[in-house]
Amino acid sequence: MPDLIQLYQTVCQYARRTAVLASIQELLGWDERTQMPAAGAEHRAEQSTLLAGLIHQRWVDPKFGDQLEELSQGLQNESDRFSDAAVILRRLKRQREKRLKLPQFLVEELARTAVLAQQAWQAARQNDDYPSFQPLLERTIELKRQQAEALGYPRCPYDALLDEFEPEEITDNIQPVLAQLREELLPLVAQIQDSRRRPNTALLRRRFPVAEQERFARAAATAIGFDFNRGRLDVTAHPFCCSLGPHDCRITTRYNENHFSAAFFGVLHEAGHGIYEQNLPTEHYGTPLGEAISLGIHESQSRLWENLVGRSRAFWMHFFPLAQQHFPEALSDVALDDFHFAVNDVRPSLIRVEADEVTYNLHILVRFELERALLEDQLGAGDLPAVWNEKYRHYLGIVPSNDREGVLQDVHWSAGLFGYFPTYSLGNLYAAQFFAQAEAELGNLAEHFAAGEFRPLLDWLKEKIHRHGQRFTAAELVRQVTGRPLSARPLVDHLRAKMGSLYEL
């Protein structure tokens, strides 16, 4: 037994050191997207390539494989598959098996291309110049196809890439849920568009000084539970959250002096991610028990705080007087109900990150369908802008006037994140199901929010979700927390009840 304990500790320490290397790579990515001068891209690509190679070597090291196998033999009589040791062993073995399938040159080339492609995307987006980005996108797609083939897949190449973000999930499982969501949302959007009630969104486009936006957003993020002693907020072209360790979580946003919602709800969203990261078990850092279950579950935390909490009337019963203090010129003559209606405006729009709760998932469906077509060679990168525009016309009834607000709006494909987009819709579904369960167990959460009390919900999330790390798969966690499998019904019910009241449907 002492030898087995020592072996377990050795495996965990090895995983932690690998995680430290990965955190350095994450730090380089944060710097690249917030601070790095454009001319530094080539050298950053070399740095990222070297680190990606070193991390890959650690995963495929035969000695590490032997240790995992020896530990597996020692734990073969372990009856509890959810014990710490069983979970860590199972997850590490699964990750190593995937790594063994990937040639090192492919890992390094993916890392190098991601840096160059993201820099090319940023310039192309700024200049509305898709052709300048297209060659690197084509290279990225080819590399992702190679990755999918190397990893293997149950039914289609997309499964291999989806598994990177939503482990043990496949396309055939999520497609019916997304299809059900689409069938429910399209008529709801049409009903809202036909409503005679419309919010005055012009009040959100008054002048909101950036410095005050930052102060107000930081105050709200702190109130819901983001710890700025262990985190920071910066500016970037495309908002994101990254964790560099158990006490260093960084969130970003972008400000527009004449658009209140973009930065504020962006901060709430990224703070939701950060709260999850900050409440993973620090004692398990670097092992699967100290890491998020999946990006869908991660996204559930950000969307829950952004939408189910942050766009609720109860939230603004507490925060609107504070908003009026921060922005007296813009909001002194605005009533709470008018402001609440404005931040819940539902209308087809072009920019995903600024989309409302109802239409947001239609943006995801566009990307889900397009990246599958790109990966499976049913669509060429040269035709992508035109097909993107046609998808927007079909799903949202609007067409981008340029590629900056069309196919160039997201960073994901330049970073090689194919298979990522469905996790946003999964996150919305998980969030609604979790929130409904929290309310069933905690009582009327609106009363807490109106009083500025967010701790009861936060503590519930920490107990039910955050503390488990990767102990369960996403599907197992949802069933454990809510008593039923993932369903589109809680989200649809939430949207119909909320929008039915606002729009008098």
3-state secondary structure 276-305: HHHCCCHHHCCCHHHCCCCHHHHHHHHHHH
User: Could you give the maximum distance between any two Cα atoms of the chain, in Å?
Assistant: 73
What is the Cα–Cα distance from 78 to 71, expressed in whole angstroms?
11
What is the Cα–Cα distance from 34 to 37, expressed in whole angstroms?
9
What is the Cα–Cα distance from 286 to 11, expressed in whole angstroms?
11
pLDDT digits (tens, 9 = 90+) for 183-206: 999 999 999 999 999 999 999 999
Q: Which helix (H) or strand (E) holds 235?
A: strand 231-235
Mean pLDDT score of the chain, rounded to an integer? 95
pLDDT at residue 414 is higher than 70: yes
**If pLDDT is split at 50, 70 and 90, which confidence band does 1 have?**
low
pLDDT at residue 343 is higher than 80: yes
User: Is 453 annotated as catalytic?
Assistant: no
Residue 230's contacts (CB-CB under 8 Å, 6 or more residues apart) are 246, 247, 248, 249, 278
pLDDT digits (tens, 9 = 90+) for 142-195: 999 999 999 999 999 999 999 999 999 999 999 998 999 999 999 999 999 999
Per-residue pLDDT at 172: 93
What is the Cα–Cα distance from 85 to 304, expressed in whole angstroms?
31
List the helix and strand counts (H, then E) for the chain.
Answer: 21, 3
Residue linked to tokens 């530094």? 40
**If pLDDT is split at 50, 70 and 90, which confidence band does 353 have?**
confident
Mean pLDDT over 16-40 rounds to 95
Per-residue pLDDT at 377: 94
Kindly report the pTM of this predicted structure. Answer: 0.93
- Fold entry, domain 171-503: Neurolysin; domain 3 (1.10.1370)
Mean pLDDT over 102-112 rounds to 95
Helix runs in 61-103, H state only: 62-74, 84-100
Per-residue pLDDT at 111: 93
**If pLDDT is split at 50, 70 and 90, which confidence band does 354 have?**
confident
**If pLDDT is split at 50, 70 and 90, which confidence band does 237 have?**
confident
* Contact (Cβ atoms closer than 8 angstroms) between residue 268 and residue 393: no
Mean pLDDT over 440-449 rounds to 97
* The two three-digit tokens of residue 165, written as one number: 């973000």
Q: What percent of the chain has a predicted confidence (pLDDT) above 90? A: 95
Quick one: CA torsion of 191, 193, 199, 203, rounded to 10 degrees?
150
pLDDT digits (tens, 9 = 90+) for 265-280: 999 999 999 999 999 9
pLDDT at residue 291 is higher than 80: yes
What is the Cα–Cα distance from 298 to 271, expressed in whole angstroms?
11
Task: Give the DSSP letter of residue 343.
Answer: T
With CA atoms as reference, report the closest residue to 358 among 497, 198, 259: 497
pLDDT at residue 504 is higher than 60: yes
**If pLDDT is split at 50, 70 and 90, which confidence band does 77 have?**
confident
Per-residue pLDDT at 334: 98
Per-residue pLDDT at 2: 59
pLDDT at residue 388 is higher than 70: yes
Mean pLDDT over 317-328 rounds to 98
Per-residue pLDDT at 238: 81
* The two three-digit tokens of residue 419, written as one number: 């298979």
pLDDT digits (tens, 9 = 90+) for 127-137: 999 999 999 99
Residue 81 three-state SS: coil
Task: Select which of 108, 109, 270, 306 is catalytic.
Answer: 270
With CA atoms as reference, report the closest residue to 161 among 78, 80, 230, 102: 102
